[in-house]
Amino acid sequence: MRLRLPEERPTEPPTGYKIAHPMLSQDGTRAGFTGVSLGGALPYGVLADASCVYGLRHRAPSRRCDCGFHCVHDRRTAEALLCTAEHRAAVLLEVTVLGRYIRFERGFRYARQRVRTATVGPCACGTVAAALADAGWGRPGWTALAPSCAGCLCGRTSVSLAGFARLGGEGLRVVAGKGAASVAVADLGYAKDLGVPELAAEAALLQARLDWFQAQLARLGERGPGGGRKG
Ligand SMILES: [Zn+2]
Ligand SMILES: [Zn+2]
């Protein structure tokens, strides 16, 4: 006789927490995430189904394999992972666990996932992030992004937090976090739904872009047209 664990039938899908790197598709039309662990090679969308990372033909999660999405029950457990040097630029995700799941002491392994909220940490300079900018690495067809303030963008490929939420779709919220004083920056991604903090963040971003643009123009102006020196 085979022993079976009791099956859970929750009335509402469980909530979990994890960390991931925000990703932008090469053509700039899609936003997603990629995991920080060894199984995190393939970027996933806001609403996604797990498949076996080893290419085995079984449904994920399988009891005999460690594939499937992973998350922990406790927000602080996930936040603690952000302290390590290699995870500093990752974001905290609040997810809804959908489909079949296997419950562990600290979290779930499961079949289907909806990312509800992404909390973006500060820019490397310590300022609250206004955008997600090219982090200097990626996966085939995807650029990894890291939190950036308006002043540190310096012409890198970037997307505002509201823009990332809009590209992610499925009601994704993107929040600029700084400890307990998180500021909601992006919600539905429609301009008519944006409030003062969201518009102020967008304005700061545009101003920084404009400053950078004018600095480049000034630099070219010094050199003169065609870049040649003038006697
Ligand atoms: Zn598997
Ligand atoms: Zn900065």
What are the DSSP calls for 3-44, one per residue?
Answer: --PPPP--SS--EEEEEEEEEEETTSS-EEEEESSTTTTS-B
Q: Give 116's contacts (C-beta < 8 A, 6+ positions apart).
A: 15, 94, 95, 96, 171, 172, 173
Q: Please give the distance, rounded to the nearest whole angstrom, from the Cα atom of residue 15 to the centre of ligand 2.
A: 32
181 or 86, greater pLDDT: 86
Output the average pLDDT for the chain. 87
Ligand nearest to the CA of residue 59, numbered in listed order = 1
Q: Count the domains in the chain.
A: 1
Q: What is the pLDDT of residues 53-98, one digit of tens each?
A: 888 899 999 999 988 999 999 999 999 999 999 999 999 999 999 9
Distance CA 231, CA 141 (A): 47
136-166: burial string, b at 16+ Cβ within 10 Å, e else? eebbeebbbbbbbbbebbeebebbbbbbbbb
213 or 16, greater pLDDT: 16
Residue 133 lies in a domain: yes
The token pair at 101 is: 């799941």
Around ion ligand 2, residues with a beta carbon closer than 5 Å are: 123, 125, 127, 149, 152
The reported pLDDT for the residue numbered 135 is: 97
DSSP per-residue letters across 140-158 = TTEEEEEEE-GGG-TT--E
- Which residue stretches of the chain are H helix? 75-81, 161-168, 196-223
Residue 142 lies in a domain: yes
Only one residue has tokens 């974001």, namely: 91
Q: Please give the distance, rounded to the nearest whole angstrom, from the Cα atom of residue 231 to the centre of ligand 1.
A: 70
111 or 209, greater pLDDT: 111
Residue 26 lies in a domain: yes
End-to-end CA distance of the chain: 94
Task: Please give the average per-residue pLDDT across 118-141, as a whole number.
Answer: 95
Q: Please give the distance, rounded to the nearest whole angstrom, from the Cα atom of residue 56 to the centre of ligand 1.
A: 6
Only one residue has tokens 């296997």, namely: 102
The reported pLDDT for the residue numbered 210 is: 82
Residue 3 lies in a domain: no
Residue 200 lies in a domain: yes
Residue 69 lies in a domain: yes
Indicate if the pLDDT at residue 196 is higher than 80. Answer: no
Task: Please give the average per-residue pLDDT across 131-160, as a whole number.
Answer: 95
Distance CA 20, CA 144 (A): 10
Total H helices, total E strands in the chain: 3, 11
Percent of the chain whose predicted confidence (pLDDT) is above 70: 86
Residue 192 lies in a domain: yes
Please tell me the pTM assigned to this model: 0.79
Indicate if the pLDDT at residue 184 is higher than 70. Answer: no
Residue 228 lies in a domain: no
Range of the domain at 84: 15-223
